[in-house]
Structure 1
Amino acid sequence: MEGLQLIVVIGAAIIGGGWLARRLRLPPALVLLLFGVAIGFIPVAGAVALPPDLVLLLFLPALLYWESVTTSLREIRSNLRVILLAAIGLVLVTAVGVGAAASALGLPWPIALALGAILAPTDATAVASVARGLPRRILTTVRTESLINDGTALVLYSVAIGAAVSGTGIEIGPVALEFLWSYLVAIAIGLAIGFVIGWLRRFVREPSLVNTLVVLTPFVAFLPAELLHASGVVAVVVCGLVSSHLPDFDASAVARRQGFGFWEVTTYILNGSLFVLIGIQFHLIVTSIEAVDWPLTLLLSGVAIVLVLGIRLAWFNTIPYVLRAVDRRPAQRARRVHARQRFPGAWAGFRGAVSLAAALALPLETADGSPLPYRETLIAVTFAVILFTLVVQGLTMPAVVRWARLPPDPTEEWENLLAERTALEAVIEQLPRVAEEAGATPAVRDALLEEYTARLDTVSRRMRDDDKTVLPLDDELTGDDGESALRLAVLPVKRRAIAQLRNTRQIDDVVLRRIQARLDAEELRLEARAGDLDEEV
């Protein structure tokens, strides 16, 4: 299939799959994966192979950067121990466990360990797509785990493949040193690039240039880490976390709105394309397996699925109790959750594009020129595990969340109001000075002061600072008698009126677009206000 045809087919699949997923209330990743499987049976599409470099060098940096930028750094700090144990310890245990089982079934140890490393990491894009709706703490934990664990798995993968190709053994000492080098150098690069980019943004004001710099950032962080044989994944994640935490006072609202819009659309398309491409590989993978290899492939797939799922469930139901026995500080006791509430995090171990890309990147030959043994089997097993986690775990995830009876985030709504209250208090305090500097008339100043004071009173009356809870909205507290809804309702009338002026050639298209931009800004402001009232902030 030609490149342009493939782009059109994938784009159509993303649109159709996204629409169907919304109608059926299914995870978009699952629907797009199945769309890809169906497309793969079209003769001209079945031969499309997913280039591993496309995933590891283009898709992965961009997607991981956006995921890290939109992740709560405070929650990461609060749950850092749990995240690191899962991103490093759980990955190593899973890789060794799957590798030991594969070795027992007849695979050479380096090949078996490579399979374990391929299947060990959870996938950030799959987690973000399927595990929505979880409370902030659990979602941050599983998202950050999936962002970091790729680095652990890919280091182990490279060691195992190096041993498989060269025919040498695997020694723990060099592997440990490679892990340390990979993480420490990557963290240093991520910190350096993050602060340098933040410094450069102080001098770049044009919105298009600002966002071009931001788009380039993940690749600037990824490249030097890979050249130094460190983890590009960890470098990108650290860089994204630094970028999200640096002050952004110099950026204009236009640049922020433009940037967020670009990243939301781009990551949606990249995510969708990945899952469609993964599905398309199904036909190639199935046809590449020889008949004599099917019994081992099916057996190994079943064993791998059981181990990947079982080890994760066992980890989430044993390690917390070990930590409780070791750390009995009151602050840690307050953060404990029951096994039932931990289960959604354990169930959210979805595998995805990184695992498949690593499997497809397996070399064809060893150092002596002989074919790499069991290559097609490893690829097929990887696809089976991905398919199981997305289909079975993805479909049951909403039921698991309901069964867990997770309490809502106790302070998130209060924090929203705290931010608004603090901003209003600062404005009210400095409004006289700012009004004088801006040359505003006393009447304008007093009108704004009255508006801000009324809003501050509404916000303050809803907040209970003693237990960080929020009172529900009622008509008395909202102070909104339907004005926002009415303003939204008349916007289509305005749009039709100015469109009629353009159609009768009384105004130019440039004028039309300028007025439409103003109406769009007004609609966004009114929708945000209506959302505050309808959704209780």
Structure 2
Amino acid sequence: MLGLELVVAIGLATLLTKIVARKTGIAQPLLLVAIGALIGLIPAFRDVALAPEVVLFLFLPALLYWESLTTSLREIRHNIRNIILNATGLVFLTAGAVAVLAHSLGMPWGPAWVLGAAVAPTDATAVTSLTRALPRRNVTILKAESLVNDGTALVLWSLAVGFTVGETEVHAGTITVAFLLAVLGGGAAGGLVAWLSILARKRLRDALTQNLAMLLTPFAAYLIAEAIHASGVLAVVVAGLILSQAGPRIGLAEARRQTDAFWSLATFLLNASLFVLVGTEFPIAVRSLVSTDLWMALGAVFAVSALIVAVRFAWLFGTAYFLRLVDRRPIQRERRLTNRARVVSGFSGFRGAVSLAAALAVPASVGSGQPFPHRDLIVFVVTGVIVVTLAVQGLILPALVRWAKLEPDPSEDEERRLGEEKALEAALDSLPSLAAEIGVDDEIAERVRAEYEEHRQLLEAEEDEHEGETTLERDRQATELRLAMLERKRQAVLDLRDEGRIDDIVLRDLQRRIDVEEVRLSGAEPGGV
């Protein structure tokens, strides 16, 4: 019964914190972590522990896949240099700095690097949940960094663990080969699974089977990548980004409506569960701490937390001014972030479930059979760092955003208006040829034209006082014409996306509206997957 009790507790915590967050303005993840810590103190839940396999093989693929599908590939391409630098160089620098600090506190080099690799990556879930008030470009850079840096950190982590247990010799060649295998193998696995998913969805002609293929995609990508010792994280991200471009052209409208409903709810619940379970892990980490004094361990938590923030600030400002010296192209000057925006990004490096999973996955013993050195301290420090970054930085960030006075990004609204105008224009231009092709009489064509020109909502059923077979046939013709015009609208906004004139996020919003109209007109109501 304990599993059911925990499910109910997490559900109640999610519901309660959602209400409190809405009334108080406090970010829900902070409240969920706090509730989780309280749950961990309840005797009935003292033995509840977050299994690293659950995070790495269930939570992580699903969450990263949806984040990849709903991010802006155009913004990623525009900011690819910053994203790659942050997802690789910053991870190596953070892991190394934390390893040096841990070694100075008495930890051997192997476990010190394990700790550094565990706390090095930012968490996509936490970043997405806590940075929604930022402009689109800032959020995209932070999300993309979080999506990619997990793979870099987990490669470092596996090398550090292998070195400590005596299974791996670590040198420059080993690191290079492991990193290339992770990146190239993960990218290839993600591309292969995305291609297979596209083929399957083109051949599946009903919404439920299309969504089943979509549901299997992230887990298949992760499984194949891990089987060849590549980065499962990168495989999921690559598959998601490819399908974010191909998906709008191959899916059914009803399937996309189901997708939005299912994944929005599922990822919300998975995120909430993760934050609660992170909170429950902290009392367990305190009770498990045996190799180090509690106060010394708490000091290590705050020292590591301060260090990773300091390293992040140094990296963001250092690379920015270095790149200004070597790249003076006008297009790069136009896309430079302000110093205030960098300060906000510096405080947005939240740690989360991936770090905790890495800490919990540290083996209990080394090759000789001896206990893994300072494993309990690693788990405690990683858990503490996650709580500190979420609580302290999460509470500071809203005030920091207000201080930064970041300029809102008007381009999203402008692009949405452009998409609506071009879609309407394409539909009206195609009306005569479509009416002739379908065999619609002039009266019906003019009625549909009037609806479009007056921006009437096609979601409402047409009211007609006439009854009988003739009226039904006329209604069928009008509906068929509307559906054909919707396809022209969809093609118009897809062309705008492909030309780079509107963003992926804007495309999804416009397509969602078109899909709603199509589902209503075709009489198909979206269901669950």
Length-normalised TM-score, structure 1: 0.84
Q: What is the deviation of 1:294?
A: 2.1
Distance in 2 (CA, whole Å) between partners of 1:408 and 1:262 is: 30
Match of 1:222 in 2: 222
d(CA) in 2 for partners of 1:416, 1:410: 10
- Distance in 2, Cα, partners of 1:59 & 1:24: 28
Q: 2:46, 2:284 within 8 Å by CA — same for their partners in 1?
A: yes
Give 3-state SS (helix, strand or coil) of 2:64's partner: helix
Map of 2:170 onto structure 1:
170
Cα distance between partner residues in 2 of 1:217 and 1:94: 32
Matched, 1:47 2:47: yes
Q: What is the match of residue 492 of structure 1? A: none
Asked whether 1:343 is paired with 2:354, we answer: no
Inter-partner Cα distance in structure 2 for 1:295 and 1:340: 35
Matches within 5 A, 1:4-403: 4-166=4-166, 170-290=170-290, 292-403=292-403
Whether the 8 Å contact between 2:291 and 2:376 is mirrored in structure 1 is: no
Q: Shift in Å at residue 323 of structure 1?
A: 0.8
Q: Is the 8 A contact 2:282 2:384 kept in 1?
A: no
State the alpha-carbon separation in 2 of the partners of residues 190 and 168 from structure 1: 27
Partners in 1 of 2:338 and 2:373 — Cα distance?
A: 45
- In structure 1, the residue matched to 2:449 is 449
The residue identity in structure 2 corresponding to 1:27 is A
Q: Which amino acid aligns with 2:343?
A: F
Distance 1:178 1:358, change over 3 A: same
Runs (5+) with no aligned partner, structure 1: 456-479, 488-520, 526-537
Contact 2:99 2:112 in 1 (8 A): yes
- Kindly state the Cα deviation for residue 226 of structure 1 after the two structures are TM-superposed: 0.2
CA displacement at 1:5 relative to structure 2: 1.7
Are the counterparts in 2 of residues 46 and 281 from structure 1 also a CA contact under 8 Å? no
The 8 Å contact of residues 159 and 168 in structure 2, kept in 1 or not, is answered as no
* Letter paired with 2:82: V
Structure 2 alignment gaps of length 5 or more: 461-512, 518-529
Structure 2 CA distance for aligned equivalents of residues 164 and 410 of structure 1:
51
CA-CA distance at 1:160 after TM superposition: 0.2
My pick for the range that moved more, 250-259 or 155-164, is 250-259
Question: How many residues are treated as equivalent by the alignment?
Answer: 468
For 1:266 and 1:435, the matched residues in 2 are separated by 42
How far apart in 1 are the matches of 2:410 and 2:281? 43
Encode CA deviations 1:32-71: one digit per residue, 9 max, x unaligned. 1111011111101121011000000000000000000000
Provide the C-alpha distance between the structure 2 equivalents of 1:209 and 1:26, rounded to a whole number of angstroms: 40
Question: Hey, what's the Cα distance between the residues in 1 that align with 2:29 and 2:205?
Answer: 37
Residues 193 and 221 in structure 2, CA contact (< 8 A), matched pair in contact too: yes
Q: The residue matched to 1:48 in structure 2 has which SS?
A: coil
Q: In structure 2, how many angstroms separate the alpha carbons of the residues matched to 1:353 and 1:144?
A: 17
Closer/same/farther in 2, CA of residues 399 and 61 from structure 1, 3 Å limit: same
1:212 Cα offset (Å): 0.8
Residues 292 and 324 (structure 1), Cα distance of their counterparts in 2 relative to 1, 3 Å cut: closer
Q: Match of 2:293, SS?
A: helix
Give 1:168 deviation, angstroms: 6.3
- Partners of 1:272 and 1:17 in 2: how far apart? 10
Per the TM alignment, residue 158 of structure 1 is displaced from its structure 2 partner at its CA by 0.2
Match of 2:427 in 1: 427
Native 8 Å contact 1:96 1:116 kept in 2: yes
Q: Deviations over 1:499-531 (max 9, x none)?
A: xxxxxxxxxxxxxxxxxxxxxx99x77xxxxxx
Partner amino acid for 1:333? R
Does the C-alpha gap of structure 1 residues 443 and 337 become closer, same or farther in structure 2, counting only changes over 3 Å? same
Q: Distance in 2 between matches of 1:66 and 1:108?
A: 39
Shift of 1:337: 2.3
Question: Could you tell me how far apart the structure 2 residues matched to 1:341 and 1:148 are?
Answer: 21
TM-score by length of 2: 0.85
Range 53-62 or range 25-34, more displaced: 25-34
* Structure 1 residue 395: Cα displacement: 1.2
Q: Which amino acid aligns with 1:125?
A: T
- Partner of 2:202: helix, strand, or coil? coil
**Greater relative contact order, per chain length (Cα 8 Å cut-off, separation 6+):** 2
- 1:372-403 deviation line (CA, Å, top 9, x unaligned): 11111111111111111111111121111111
2:117 maps to a residue whose letter is: A
Shift of residue 147 of structure 1? 0.5
* Aligned-partner Cα distance in 1 for 2:22–2:407: 25
> How far has the Cα of 1:450 moved from its partner?
2.9
| C-alpha RMSD of matched pairs (Å) | 2.3
Query: 1:127: how far off?
Result: 0.6
Read off the aligned partner of 1:52 and give its amino acid letter. P
Q: Residues 205 and 250 of structure 1 are in contact (CA less than 8 Å); yes or no, is this contact kept in structure 2?
A: no
Secondary structure of 2:45 counterpart = coil
Mapped partners of 1:436, 1:247: distance in 2: 30
- CA–CA distance in structure 2, aligned partners of residues 250 and 41 of structure 1: 49
Contact 1:123 1:352 in 2 (8 A): yes
- Distance of 2:24 and 2:245 partners within structure 1: 37
Aligned position for 2:406: 406
Looking at structure 2, the residues matched to 90 and 336 of structure 1 have their Cα atoms a distance apart, in angstroms, of: 19
Secondary structure of the residue aligned to 1:44 is: helix
Query: Which digits, 9 at most, give the CA deviation of each residue in 1:222-279, with x for residues without a partner?
Result: 0010010000000000000000001533422211111110000000110001111111
Report the alpha carbon displacement of residue 454 of structure 1 after superposing the two structures with TM.
Answer: 4.3
Q: CA deviation at 1:156?
A: 0.1
Q: Any idea what SS the aligned residue of 2:249 has?
A: coil
